[in-house]
Structure 1
Amino acid sequence: METNNKNRIDRREFLRRLGVGAAAVSAAALPACAPKGGAERRGAAAGAIPTDRMTCRTNPSTGDRVSLLGYGCMRWPTVKGSGEIDQEEVNRLVDYALEHGVNYFDTSPAYCKGLSERATGIALKRHPRDRYFIATKLSNFAPATWSREASMEMYRTSFRELQTDHIDYMLLHAVGMGSGMREFEARYIDNGMLDFLVEERRAGRIRNLGFSYHGDVAVFDRLLAEHDKYRWDFVQIQLNYVDWRHAKEVNPRNTDAEYLYGELAARGIPAVVMEPLLGGRLSKVHDHIALKLRQRRPEASVASWAFRFAGSLPGVQTVLSGMTYMEHLQDNLRTCAPLEPLTDDDLVFLEETAQALLRYPTIPCTACKYCMPCPYGLDIPGTLRHFNKCINEGRMPASLQDPAYRRLRREFLIGYDRSVPRLRQANRCIGCGECVHHCPQRIDIPAQMQRIDRFVEDLKQGREF
């Protein structure tokens, strides 16, 4: 995998470079949780979904047999019109996931406006505790929560909300974001919280301790350099077939997943994957790219390619997906129960796909909503989502000379007004920068809002852009 020849990706070299041998290659292909017997899976997108074929990986620290597909609890369904979490639907999704082999549930005090842990706890409490693993985070982003007292209260609240006496997987949340090293030290070192969490692991109230990484790679490198001191049981990273080698092309502040994963694999630290779909963009690729994906594997969804990419890495313990709807859960189950690893040709094909996607400059927003609420009432994710959607669907007016310009101009402007109320659109941004500090992708949101506002004004005035 020489960096000057990105199309020549051999699967054995792909895995060898990450420090794994033939035995691991074979193990990656096995449905590790499946009991002997059981019907073989036929077709990735049709037929009954097996309940006994989920591919699992073993955590070396605790021996946990963790489902390759993990449930990300950041986007629980809401009751239409109210914005409140639909607990009945959450229960139904959790029941179905458990029935089909999913046993890893990832939440945070910051998700769903602070209500994700409670909803997740209610749904899981209805099942035996040994059937699932709970992952949550010390999400002390705001300076007001950096004190030891505030961070301790957040930690204790997680136990109450989740209705549990132990956390299976506890994370320092999004290290490297904001001001990087200085912010990391304020959140976890100066207040003694990291040392406290290590002691909690020793006492058994935490079973596995790790961190999720966004932003300043110096923080990631420091924590891995201190692995002997802290003994990280797992690390959560952003990994997908675009970010694998092109993260900086998506966002200059990001780090290639190839490097992050390689550093973890070299130390034998399991990786938990977040953003396998790059904020949903790899399930909603440009039409001409989607056509190629479907032609190559007609029975599979577009999204399945991204999950197979992440799952084919043997050092990946679980791949998280925020599955709001039953159809998303069912599609991902078909991909992971069991996983069919990528071939050499598949890897070449996905690298070509990644390069094709990069020719269309979308904004790297993952719709995590950490930027909200905006103090001036803007709908930041909604604005970025509409802009990206028009690019991804090939419905972006290119120039005044484009024969379809008038139609595309009208569709963009009408769609913008329907998606985002006018008083919450990009032209209301004053550039205060409050949102930038909270963005895990470290997007210069004011600059992007100005970019979109200029584009909208050019369309309204019929000017060239």
Structure 2
Amino acid sequence: MDTKNRHAIGRREFLKRLGAGAAVSTAALAGCAPERGPAADGTSASGEIPTDAMTFRINPRTGEKVSLLGYGCMRWPTVGGDGPDADEIDQETVNRLVDFAIAHGVNYFDTSPAYCKGQSERVTGIALKRHPREKYFIATKLSNFAPSTWSREASLAMYRNSFRELQVDYIDYMLLHGVGMGGGMEEFEARYIRNGMLDFLLAEREAGRIRNLGFSYHGDIRVFDRLLAGHDRYRWDFVQIQMNYLDWRHAREINPRNTDAEYLYGELAGRGIPAVIMEPLLGGRLSKVHDHIVARLKQREPGRSVASWAFRFAGSYPGVLTVLSGMTYMEHLQDNLRSYCPLQPLTDEEREFLFATADLMMQYPTIPCNDCKYCMPCPYGLDIPGILLHYNKCVNEGNVPEDRQAENYRKARRAFLVGYDRSVPRLRQADRCIGCNQCVPHCPQNIRIPQEMQRIDRFVEHLKQGTL
């Protein structure tokens, strides 16, 4: 599809290409209430989940059998819900999720000192400690993002604290966290080279306290290429990349600082380095797609969830060791287990169908927020992820009115404004942004957050005044 014409395509022509016809959902006429909890759109699958059918991949260096579904521990449930003020993690619910996952074959759990406001390693360790150590693999990270943690002493303290929090004497999979994010090569040198931390971690691997050493990549391709060029020295055991059917060929188009997953996976596969996949759903965006896209996917496979297409895509590549998913609710866990117990790999024709679907999805001007919350807390109290997710949800449901002459203008206007006040408290909305830019370096998706806040605030004001 011609990139120059992608955003100029008319609605009628778009629907014609989409082929949704009468199957298009009427959910776009519903209100735009927040949807940060379990899916409420009927897009998840159902049915019994076998306990002995998990698809496993073999770690080529250790021979370990790793579950194709990995548990991402960045979005554990909280006692106070999932709002910006929720702090206390619900340990009992975490325990139930971990128990159910292990009972159904999941054995890879990915956490970080930075997740869940610093609580993820502790609650993950508590949940896993109740199971035999040989039943699971723990992945964690040296998440020394802040300049105050770049010193050798601070980085060593973070590393050693991970062992205490997780209650283990070795780490199965250790990652340099967020390589290429923010300051590029200069930041990477400060975080891992000049302080001697990479050499230290290599020595820890030799001593057996780290079983596998790798890095997670975000953003600056020069860092990715340099680390792979040094593979003979570092001997990376795995690399974590963002990969899904939208980012496969559209990552750079969404944001010029990102890299298409097709290139990242190809470079790893060519060197025989296993890939660990993060963001298979783009922070949930590929499970909350535009209603027309839902209709297209459900028309093709009525019995499958929308999310299952993304998980099958990621899992169908043989160089993938495991696919991470931040499963906050039992419903999420069960649906993903259905995709991998066992995996039904995509056919070539199904893969092309998804690539065509990705092309169509690019018609919708959503903001690439993955709800990772790295931008939080905002010093001025904004709920940045809540604002962006509400905007994206309304785009996907057709509730972002373009002008007053549009047929559904009044309905869409009301849905956007009412949903905005319901999902984001007034004192946390976009009008509170002063453009301090403190959030920008922390965003893995390189979103220009202050500009987006100003744009959304102007849009809201026009809607309120009826001048759009």
Q: TM-score, normalised by structure 1?
A: 0.89
Match of 2:12 in 1: none
What secondary structure, in the 3-state scheme, does the structure 2 residue paired with 1:154 have? helix
Match of 1:296 in 2: 300
Task: Say which is worse superposed, 45-54 or 155-164, in terms of deviation.
Answer: 45-54
Residue of structure 1 aligned with 2:286, choices 267, 279, 282: 282
What secondary structure, in the 3-state scheme, does the structure 2 residue paired with 1:121 have? helix
Residue of structure 2 aligned with 1:313, choices 314, 317, 322: 317
CA distance in 2, matches of 1:316, 1:361: 30
2:46/2:335 contact within 8 Å kept: no
Q: 1:344 aligned to 2:352?
A: no
CA distance in 2, matches of 1:66, 1:270: 11
Match of 1:6 in 2: none
Q: Structure 1 residue 419: deviation in Å?
A: 1.1
Match of 1:52 in 2: 52
Match of 1:219 in 2: 223
Please list, as runs of the form range in 1=range in 2, the aligned pairs for 1:18-29 lying within 5 A after superposition. none
Residue of structure 1 aligned with 2:116, choices 105, 112, 130: 112
CA distance in 2, matches of 1:117, 1:158: 7
1:237/1:273 contact within 8 Å kept: yes
What secondary structure, in the 3-state scheme, does the structure 1 residue paired with 2:89 have? coil
Match of 2:31 in 1: none
What secondary structure, in the 3-state scheme, does the structure 2 residue paired with 1:347 have? helix
CA distance in 1, matches of 2:150, 2:334: 40
For structure 2, the 5+ residue unaligned runs are 4-43
Letter in 2 for 1:402: A
CA distance in 2, matches of 1:445, 1:124: 36
Shift >6 Å, 4+ stretches: none
CA distance in 1, matches of 2:218, 2:141: 14
Letter in 1 for 2:299: Q
1:234/1:269 contact within 8 Å kept: yes
Match of 2:23 in 1: none
2:216/2:239 contact within 8 Å kept: yes
Letter in 1 for 2:56: C
Task: Say which is worse superposed, 353-362 or 410-419, in terms of deviation.
Answer: 410-419
Match of 1:98 in 2: 102
Task: Say which is worse superposed, 420-429 or 203-212, in terms of deviation.
Answer: 420-429
1:249/1:358 contact within 8 Å kept: no
Residue of structure 1 aligned with 2:193, choices 164, 181, 189: 189
CA distance in 1, matches of 2:48, 2:410: 46
Q: 1:74 aligned to 2:82?
A: no
Q: Structure 1 residue 45: deviation in Å?
A: 3.4
Higher RCO (Cα < 8 Å, 6 or more apart): 2
What are the superposed Cα offsets for residues 251-295 of structure 1, whole Å, 9 maximum, x if unpaired?
A: 221100000000000000000000000111110111111111111
Please list, as runs of the form range in 1=range in 2, the aligned pairs for 1:383-422 lying within 5 A after superposition. 383-422=387-426
2:140/2:174 contact within 8 Å kept: yes
2:87/2:117 contact within 8 Å kept: no
CA distance in 1, matches of 2:467, 2:356: 35
Q: 1:262 aligned to 2:266?
A: yes
CA distance in 1, matches of 2:329, 2:246: 25
What secondary structure, in the 3-state scheme, does the structure 2 residue paired with 1:51 have? coil
CA distance in 1, matches of 2:47, 2:285: 26
What are the superposed Cα offsets for residues 207-260 of structure 1, whole Å, 9 maximum, x if unpaired?
A: 000000001000000000000000000000000000001101222211000000
What are the superposed Cα offsets for residues 37-85 of structure 1, whole Å, 9 maximum, x if unpaired?
A: xxxxxxx934321111100101111111100000000000111365311
Q: 1:121 aligned to 2:125?
A: yes
User: How many residues of Structure 1 are paired with residues of Structure 2 in the alignment?
Assistant: 422
Q: 1:136 aligned to 2:140?
A: yes
Letter in 1 for 2:65: R
Give % identity: 77
Task: Say which is worse superposed, 244-253 or 125-134, in terms of deviation.
Answer: 244-253
Match of 1:41 in 2: none
CA distance in 1, matches of 2:346, 2:415: 39
* Root mean square deviation, CA, Å: 1.2
What secondary structure, in the 3-state scheme, does the structure 2 residue paired with 1:370 have? coil
CA distance in 2, matches of 1:330, 1:140: 33
1:91/1:123 contact within 8 Å kept: yes
What secondary structure, in the 3-state scheme, does the structure 2 residue paired with 1:406 have? helix
Q: 1:148 aligned to 2:148?
A: no
What secondary structure, in the 3-state scheme, does the structure 2 residue paired with 1:172 have? strand
Match of 1:235 in 2: 239
CA distance in 1, matches of 2:312, 2:254: 21
For structure 1, the 5+ residue unaligned runs are 4-43
Task: Say which is worse superposed, 398-407 or 330-339, in terms of deviation.
Answer: 398-407
CA distance in 2, matches of 1:446, 1:245: 27
